[in-house]
Amino acid sequence: MSVMVSVLDAQRTRTSEKYTTYPPEVLPMFVAEMDSVPAEPVREALERAIRNGDTGYVGHTRVLPEVFADFAGRRWGWDVDPDLVRTTTDVSVAAVEVLRRIIDPGDQVVLMPPVYPPFWEYVREAGGSATEVPLLAPDGEPDPFDTTAGWRMDLAAIERAFAGGARTVLLCNPHNPLGLVHAREDLVALARLAAQWDAVVVSDEIHAPLVHADAVFTPFLTCGPEAVEHGVALTSASKAWNLAGTKCALMVGGSERARGWFDGLPGEVVERTGILGYTASVAAFRDGEPWLASLLAELTGNRRILAEELGTAVPGAGYRQPQASYLAWLDLRALPWGDDPAVHLVDAAKVALTNGRDFGRPGIGHARLNFGCSEATLREGLARLASAR
């Protein structure tokens, strides 16, 4: 049974950003929400909470840290100490609040564009200044049957940024919008650089449960003693199980230094965790892996359809299959659609994609497409893109 529903059914019944930003004649393939049905354990847990009136302020329990530690151990061999896990509303709040503990006003924070657009806002909100170190792009024309392997962190440029005064890296691992799963050796090298310069790596790992079978995810905090001492991980069930609106994320440390940062958080950072998000996250990490396996099978099929058919639908479009998640990074610079092709395509094709330039200068002429949908919806999207002029 498919975990996806018709986008038309979703537009009729859902009120979230994905389905209400544009008129109903526009196919929404932009924001990172999926057209999925909830995993049964998650749905049952939320229904039970509603029936029982368990909708108050979040309690002080170790249940979610322990359940996540079990999940991380099973899936990635990551030994998480539940005592070094804290919760908050979402990964964006986690990023801002952790950065506030780490940096002083005006400090440089390294970002690696093209990267998730809110990263710049996180740094500004925390009082820092963004220092951009773009990823190294693969050589040659993109092969749609290749994956995003070939993109790399520019470690030499990161070291130059450290030499210039930066002391923090906001890492996206896996990397949005590319679906890039950073190689373990690169993460180890980054951790060693952080130790050399007494810097901190804040690793956003929200897409980690969505890594495809042809890649291996490496949690940053498993990359040696330097990573443990100089790193913090941020994650959530929200992306993999489509739970963004329930509001729960985790901050994970591995050292006494991290414990100090967490203990210095304002109490309200933890208190604002949504109790329904906490409930849903426990169910997802504890009992949601069979549903996740079904989801990944559908997403693998969709990314393959894009590889097989995008070039015919949109000659000149560049695409590499992502190693993680349900987001496709489309290189549309060869098309006559300008620096921000997503703006053109809303009118010309009645398809809403995410604006590539929002991901930084390397995103000019690109767009991000969400294929977390049914096969029928994806094929409709391709047909519409093919009609664009």
On the question of pLDDT at 366 being above 80, the answer is yes
Cβ 233 vs Cβ 219: under 8 Å: yes
Q: 97-143: per-residue pLDDT in tens?
A: 999 999 999 999 999 999 999 999 999 999 999 999 999 998 876 67
Q: Which two tokens stand for residue 269?
A: 């950072």
CA-atom Rg of the chain in angstroms: 20
State mean pLDDT over 266-289: 97
Q: Examine residue 44 and state whether it is found in any structural domain, yes or no.
A: no
With bands split at pLDDT 50, 70 and 90, how would you rate the model's confidence at 336? very high
CA distances, 314 to each of 138, 367, 388 (Å): 21, 13, 9
User: Do the domain assignments include residue 186?
Assistant: yes
> For residue 261, what are the domain limits?
51-287
246 found inside a domain: yes
Q: Collect all residues with Cβ–Cβ distance below 8 Å to 236 and sequence separation of at least 6.
A: 90, 91, 206, 243, 248, 249, 250, 281
User: What is the amino acid identity at position 40?
Assistant: E
What is the model's pLDDT at position 139? 80
At 282, give phi and psi (nearest 5°). Answer: -60, -45
Assess if residue 46 is contained within a domain.
no
Residues 143, 195, single domain; the answer is yes
pLDDT of residue 143: 72
Residue 116 maps to a domain? yes
Residue 149: its pLDDT value, please?
66
Residue 269 has pLDDT above 80, yes or no: yes
Q: pLDDT category, 148, cuts 50, 70, 90? A: low
What separation, in Å, do the N-terminal and C-terminal C-alpha atoms of the chain show?
Answer: 37
Residues 184, 220: one domain?
yes
* Whether the bond into 114 is cis, omega within 30 of 0: yes
Return the pLDDT at 184: 98
Residues 208 and 276 in one domain: yes
Residue 353 lies in a domain: yes
d(CA 42, CA 198): 41
Verify that 83 and 93 share a domain, yes or no. Answer: yes
**Same structural domain for residues 85 and 182?**
yes
Residues 71 and 134 in one domain: yes
189-208 tens-digit pLDDT? 999 999 999 999 999 999 99
Structural domain includes residue 82: yes
Out of 221, 256, 287, a domain closes at 287
Decide: 324 and 177 in contact? Cβ < 8 Å: no
Q: Are residues 244 and 299 in the same domain?
A: no
The domain boundary residue, chosen from 287, 309, 334: 287
**Alpha carbon distances (Å) from 125 to 106, 128, 311:** 11, 7, 40
Q: What is the mean pLDDT of the segment spanning 219-245?
A: 98
Q: Do 249 and 345 have their domain in common?
A: no
94: domain CATH number is 3.40.640.10
pLDDT tens-digit readout, 155-197: 999 999 999 999 999 999 999 999 999 999 999 999 999 999 9
For the cut 90, the answer to whether the pLDDT of residue 144 exceeds it is no
Question: Which of the residue ranges 1-10, 16-25, 327-336 would you say has the lowest mean pLDDT?
Answer: 1-10
Domain count across the chain: 2
CATH of the domain at 331: 3.90.1150.10
Shared-domain flag, residues 153 and 66: yes
Structure token pair of residue 382: 């391709």
251 and 151 housed in the same domain: yes
Q: Which of 261, 287, 313 is where one domain is finished?
A: 287
> What is the three-class DSSP state of 51?
helix
CA 168, 174, 176 angle in degrees (round to 5)? 85
Considering the domain architecture, whether residues 21 and 72 belong to the same structural domain is answered as: no
Q: Are residues 29 and 68 in the same domain?
A: no
